[in-house]
Amino acid sequence: MFDQLQERLGAIFDRLSGRGRISDGEVDEALREVRVALLEADVSLAAAKAFVARVKERAVGANVLESLTPAQTILTIVHDELVALLGPPTGSGQARLQFSDAPPSVIMLVGLQGSGKTTQAGKLALRLKEQGRRSLLIAADVYRPAAIDQLQTLGKQIGLPVYEQGAGDPVRIVRDGLAEARRLGLSTAIVDTAGRLQIDEPLMDELEKIKGVAQPREILLVADAMTGQEATNVAKGFHDRLGITGVILTKLDGDTRGGAALSIHSVTGAPIKFIGVGEKLSALEPFYPERLASRILGMGDALTLIEKTRGLYSDEQAKKLEEKLLKQTFTLDDFLEQMRQVRKLGSFNDLLKMVPGLSKALPKDFEIPERELSKIEAIICSMTRGERRNPDLLNGSRRKRIARGSGTQVSDVNRLVKQFDQARQMTKHLSRVRRGR
């Protein structure tokens, strides 16, 4: 997501960065290109025009034309305005969920059919459970086939109860479900409501009645980012009738231009609180406007990268790994284990983009195909334990056997062994430097 927008904006600022001074006309031209880039990314026309107007107003006030680094000044202003466009400023940088003083605190999920409400209900319940809040999942979608079965399956997977009455009255189901949540002493109730292929009056009437019964602390719209500008129209329709308090934007890991994320807050005033980044139940992340703005402008996202890797290794595991590297006892077994751990975090290419400065330093078409990582894993798994611990044993006949066993070429085996040897030599050099030798 946002690759096209990032490329367009990067080209604009690269042209400006080589100039010591820029004219008023050049600033106007650059901002026109920024507006076009936003529109091509599916940002609404109103949001794009307002964004460019704010940037221009601030640029004049910052005396960009007199600045020694005009490109950096404009880039800073664009970053700040992107953050404002994506969501309201908060102390933590993220719009957090609000909870009622008296349990159960009700979270009502709304949205069109196919946006992923039921799945997001399970993801949200799991996230709250990890934070110490147990939830009751209430199945109020009585129209979509298998919606109740899906919610029950999710409940079993995450170890949380599901309340359902089959194809009954959704309003009564929610009322009785909240009574059950109180009886069980649960802190939160998540209501999975019905959707339609498009917003209609019967749907809104039902949701308004459920809102009246549930008195939800949060009404979260689940919006599909793949629908582009339509997601913004849907958000406005739900907000006008229900007063949504936040948004869960799904399918941000897909091939989408990202305009929904850049427009929803400006249209509704409701912040994006979470983003869905995959199919797994753990693939729900808090939304940070500052971090996404930095990634769009090619500045990286070090904080998210740190959070992804936190918990991957304990302090003791990290210390053992460091000792192995320094003592030259790091083996292909260790390398395979580290690669598998990193792959748990998601796409390796997406992780590289989070490293500040690296996305600009790498070629635009740079990508490590996932099949290459799978090939490396197959090669190492085709080795004997002794060979993985001591690659020096790998003579010509052994390499041919490994290639046959892994379905690769001998050249692939040679390349892996060479790269691993180079890495060992590098850590050996670093070890000597560290010890002052």
Query: Nearest 5°: phi and psi at 207?
Result: -65, -35
- For residue 344, pLDDT beyond 70: no
Fold topology of 3-86: Four Helix Bundle (Hemerythrin (Met), subunit A) (1.20.120)
What are the angstrom distances between the C-alpha of 255 and each of 2, 5, 63, 277? 9, 12, 38, 12
* The two three-digit tokens of residue 16, written as one number: 């400006």
How far apart CA 61 and CA 82 sit, in angstroms, is: 18
The predicted structure's pLDDT at residue 356 = 46
Percentage, residues of the chain above pLDDT 90: 30
As a whole number, mean pLDDT of residues 132-148 equals 91
Our CA angle for 375, 380, 381, nearest 5°, is 95
The pLDDT value given to residue 141: 92
Given a contact cutoff of 8 angstroms between Cβ atoms, the answer to whether 86 and 265 are in contact is yes
In the DSSP assignment, the letter for residue 327 is: T
Summarised one tens digit per residue, pLDDT across range 174-184 is: 999 999 999 99
Average the pLDDT over each of 117-121, 175-179, 208-212, 233-237 and give the range with the smallest value: 233-237
The ranges of the chain annotated as CATH 1.20.120.140 are 3-86
Beta bridge partners of 434: none
CA distance to 6, 283, 343, 360, per residue, from 349 (Å): 15, 17, 10, 13
pLDDT at 133 over 90: yes
pLDDT in tens, 72-119: 777 778 888 888 877 765 444 567 888 988 889 999 999 888 888 999
The partner residues of 218 in beta bridges, in order of sequence, read: 107
β-pairing verdict for 272-276 and 218-224: unpaired
Residue spans in the chain of domains classed CATH 3.40.50.300:
105-292
Are the C-beta atoms of residues 79 and 295 closer than 8 Å to each other?
A: no
CATH class of the region 105-292:
alpha beta
Whether the CA torsion 414, 418, 420, 424 is positive or negative: it is positive
Alpha carbon of residue 321 to chain centroid: 28
Token pair for residue 100? Answer: 């009622």
- 31-64: per-residue pLDDT in tens? 888 888 888 777 778 888 888 888 888 876 656 5
Compute the residue count for the chain. 437
Radius of gyration (C-alpha) of the chain in whole angstroms: 26
| pLDDT (0 to 100) of residue 39 | 81
Domain 315-434 has CATH 1.10.260.30: yes
Give the residue range(s) of CATH 1.10.260.30 domains in the chain. Answer: 315-434
List the one residue out of 143, 151, 92, 147 whose CA is nearest residue 125: 151
Strands (E), 124-229: 135-140, 162-163, 188-193, 218-224
Grouping H, G, I as helix, E, B as strand and the rest as coil, residue 163 is strand
309 vs 107, higher pLDDT: 107
Residue 10, pLDDT score: 73
352-383 pLDDT tens trace: 555 444 455 445 554 556 677 788 889 999 99
- Exposure of 436 in the CB half-sphere (CA atoms within 13 A): 0
Task: Give the C-alpha separation, 79 to 332, whole Å.
Answer: 43
